[in-house]
C-alpha cells in the first residue's frame, strides 16, 4: 500500500488531502474537535515536506448545494489554532475562490476548501456526474492523500474518484485505523461483543447481517432500537423508525437465534414527549420498552437495560462499540451512553470505540481516552471494515 513517501519529493507540489473534519457543532461552536486533532499530523507532515496543502472535507449532510449552516469556516479557525499557523479558506470547493486560494499558496502553506458536499457531484450515484466533479477537484492538485478514515466507506468524488485521477497515497490516520481494526477481524478473542446505537439507523441496520456471523453478542441501543421493537409487535410512539426495515429486523432476530448469537434489546427506555431543543426543560420518564406511549419518543436506554448491557460486557474479551445509546448531548438522556462507556473501560481485552459522535460522547462524559483500547474516528467506516466489506476509499488506493 502506498504511503505518502511514495509520492516522492513534495516540495512545491499541490497536494489535495481528504480529511474527515465532520465535527459536532452547536451553532458555530465546535463541541468536540477530536477529528480535527486526528487530521493534524498528516497535514503537518505534508506542510513540513514543503507541499502546498489543499484540504477537502465535508460537514454534515447538506443537500448538494451551499448551506451556511454546514460551512467549514469554524473548523478552519480551529485547524489553524492546532497547526499554529494561518490556514487559508476558499469559500467554494472548485470555483473561483478555490482556484485563487490554491494559486496563492506558498510551499508549506495550508488551505481548506469549503464543504465538498455543497456540490451535488460529490455524492452522486451517477459515475459520470461524480467523475466530472472529481476532474475539477483534481485540477487543483498534483497529488492526492486519502486521510479521512470516517469516509473511506463512501464511494464519493473526493474519496474515490479523485484517487483515480491523481498520484495517490494513504495518509497516516487511515493506515493507523486500519492496523487496529484488522486486529478485530483476525481471530478476535471471545466473547466478542458489538454494541450498536446512534441515529444513522438505515446505514447501520445493514451491517448487522454480517456481524451476526462474527460476533457472539450484539447489544442494540440508540435510535436503532425502535425498528426492532416495532418488528416485535410493540408500539414505539414518535421514536425514530425505519418502517421499510421491519422485515429485515425480524429476519435478523430469527437468524441470530438460529446461529446462537444473542441480540440484546433494551427492556426499558427513557422517553419524553418532544426531542430536546432550545430552552425546553426535558421531562424524562422511564417506561417498559414494550409500553412506549403514543405521544412519546425514546431518547435513551433505561436503567435496567443499562445494567443488563454492562453485565453483558463484563466478560467480553473483544468489544466494538459504535453509536451512542441515547441523545447523550443532553444530560437527561446520557445515562445509557455513560453506562456503556464505563463498562468498556473495564473490559479485560481489546475495547474499540468508533464514530464521530461516539468518540465525542466518551470525551464529553469525562472518560479518559487511555481507558479504551482505541478510539476510532470512523463509525460507519469501522463497521463496514469489521463486516469484511471492501471499502471504496481504501480499495481505490490498493488497485494495481
Ligand X SMILES: O=C(OP(=O)(O)O)[C@H](O)COP(=O)(O)O
Is residue 227 close enough to count as binding ligand ADP by CB under 6 A?
no
Is residue 356 close enough to count as binding ligand ADP by CB under 6 A?
yes
Is residue 200 close enough to count as binding ligand ADP by CB under 6 A?
yes
Distances (CA, A) of 283 to 221, 270, 275, 293, 373: 20, 10, 10, 14, 36
Distances (CA, A) of 202 to 224, 279, 388: 8, 30, 19
State the Rg of the chain over Cα. 21
Active-site choice (356, 373, 378, 393): 356
Strands (E), 223-296: 262-264, 268-272, 285-288
Is 200 a residue of the active site?
yes
Query: What is the rounded CA–CA span in Å between residue 211 and residue 232?
Result: 20
Q: Which single residue is written with the C-alpha cell 495518509?
A: 171
- Residue 296: name the closest of 316, 282, 280 by CA: 282
280 marked as binding residue: no
Q: Which stretch binds ligand X (CB under 6 A): 2-10, 222-230, 341-349, 376-384?
A: 376-384
Is residue 154 close enough to count as binding ligand X by CB under 6 A?
yes
* Residue 326 interacts with, from ligand X, ligand ADP, none (CB under 5-8 Å by kind): ligand ADP
Active-site choice (198, 223, 380, 393): 380
Cβ atoms of 43 and 145 within 8 Å: the answer is no
* Residue 199 interacts with, from ligand ADP, ligand X, none (CB under 5-8 Å by kind): ligand ADP
Residue whose CB is less far from ligand ADP, 296 or 299: 299
Helix (H) or strand (E) run with residue 129 in it: helix 127-138
Q: Which stretch binds ligand X (CB under 6 A): 101-109, 132-140, 149-157, 362-370?
A: 149-157
Q: Which single residue is written with the C-alpha cell 414494550?
A: 290
CA 143, 381, 136: angle at the middle one, nearest 5?
A: 30
Q: Which single residue is written with the C-alpha cell 445509557?
A: 336
* Residue 121 interacts with, from ligand ADP, ligand X, none (CB under 5-8 Å by kind): none
* Residue 15 interacts with, from ligand X, ligand ADP, none (CB under 5-8 Å by kind): none
Is 165 a residue of the active site?
no
Is 13 a residue of the active site?
no
Residues that bind ligand X (CB under 6 A): 20, 22, 61, 150-151, 154, 200, 355-356, 378-380
Residues that bind ligand ADP (CB under 6 A): 197-200, 222-223, 240, 298-299, 322-324, 326-327, 329, 355-358, 379
Binding-site residue numbers are 20-22, 35, 58-61, 117, 154, 204, 298, 329, 355-358
Catalytic residues: 35, 200, 356, 380
Amino acid at each position: 500500500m502506498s504511503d505518502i513517501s511514495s509520492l516522492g519529493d513534495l516540495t512545491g507540489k499541490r497536494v489535495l488531502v481528504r480529511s474527515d473534519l465532520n465535527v459536532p457543532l452547536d451553532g458555530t461552536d465546535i463541541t468536540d474537535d477530536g477529528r480535527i486533532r486526528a487530521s493534524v499530523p498528516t497535514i503537518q507532515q505534508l506542510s513540513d515536506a514543503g507541499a502546498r496543502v489543499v484540504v477537502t472535507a465535508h460537514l454534515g449532510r447538506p443537500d448538494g448545494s451551499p448551506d451556511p449552516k454546514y460551512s467549514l469556516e469554524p473548523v478552519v479557525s480551529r485547524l489553524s489554532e492546532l497547526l499554529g499557523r494561518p490556514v487559508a479558506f476558499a469559500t467554494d470547493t472548485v470555483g473561483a475562490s478555490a482556484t485563487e486560494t490554491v494559486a496563492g499558496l506558498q510551499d508549506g502553506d495550508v488551505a481548506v476548501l469549503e464543504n465538498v458536499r455543497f456540490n451535488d457531484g460529490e455524492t452522486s450515484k451517477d459515475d459520470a456526474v461524480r467523475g466530472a466533479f472529481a476532474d475539477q477537484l483534481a485540477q487543483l492538485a498534483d497529488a492526492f492523500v486519502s486521510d479521512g478514515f470516517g469516509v473511506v466507506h463512501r464511494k464519493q468524488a473526493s474519496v474515490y474518484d479523485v484517487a483515480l485521477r491523481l498520484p495517490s497515497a494513504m495518509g497516516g490516520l487511515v493506515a493507523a485505523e486500519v492496523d487496529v481494526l484488522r486486529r478485530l477481524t483476525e481471530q478476535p478473542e471471545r466473547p466478542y461483543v458489538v454494541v450498536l446505537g446512534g441515529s444513522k439507523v438505515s446505514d447501520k441496520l445493514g451491517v448487522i447481517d454480517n456481524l451476526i456471523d462474527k460476533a457472539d453478542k450484539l447489544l442494540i441501543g440508540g435510535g436503532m432500537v425502535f425498528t426492532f421493537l416495532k418488528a416485535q409487535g410493540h408500539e414505539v410512539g414518535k421514536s425514530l423508525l425505519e418502517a421499510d426495515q421491519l422485515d429485515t429486523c425480524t429476519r435478523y432476530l430469527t437468524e441470530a437465534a438460529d446461529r446462537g448469537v444473542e441480540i440484546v434489546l433494551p427492556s426499558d427506555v427513557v422517553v419524553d414527549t418532544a426531542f430536546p431543543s432550545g430552552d425546553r426543560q426535558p421531562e424524562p420518564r422511564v417506561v417498559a420498552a414494550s409500553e412506549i406511549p403514543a405521544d412519546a419518543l425514546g431518547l435513551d436506554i433505561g436503567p435496567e437495560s443499562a445494567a443488563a448491557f454492562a453485565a453483558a460486557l463484563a466478560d467480553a474479551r473483544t468489544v466494538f462499540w459504535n453509536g451512542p445509546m441515547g441523545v447523550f448531548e443532553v444530560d437527561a438522556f446520557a445515562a445509557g451512553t455513560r453506562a456503556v462507556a464505563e463498562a468498556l473501560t473495564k473490559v479485560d481485552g481489546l475495547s474499540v470505540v468508533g464514530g464521530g459522535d461516539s468518540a465525542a460522547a466518551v470525551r464529553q462524559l469525562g472518560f479518559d481516552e487511555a481507558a479504551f483500547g482505541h478510539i476510532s474516528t470512523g463509525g460507519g467506516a469501522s463497521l463496514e471494515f469489521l463486516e469484511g466489506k471492501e471499502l471504496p476509499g481504501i480499495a481505490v488506493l490498493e488497485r494495481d
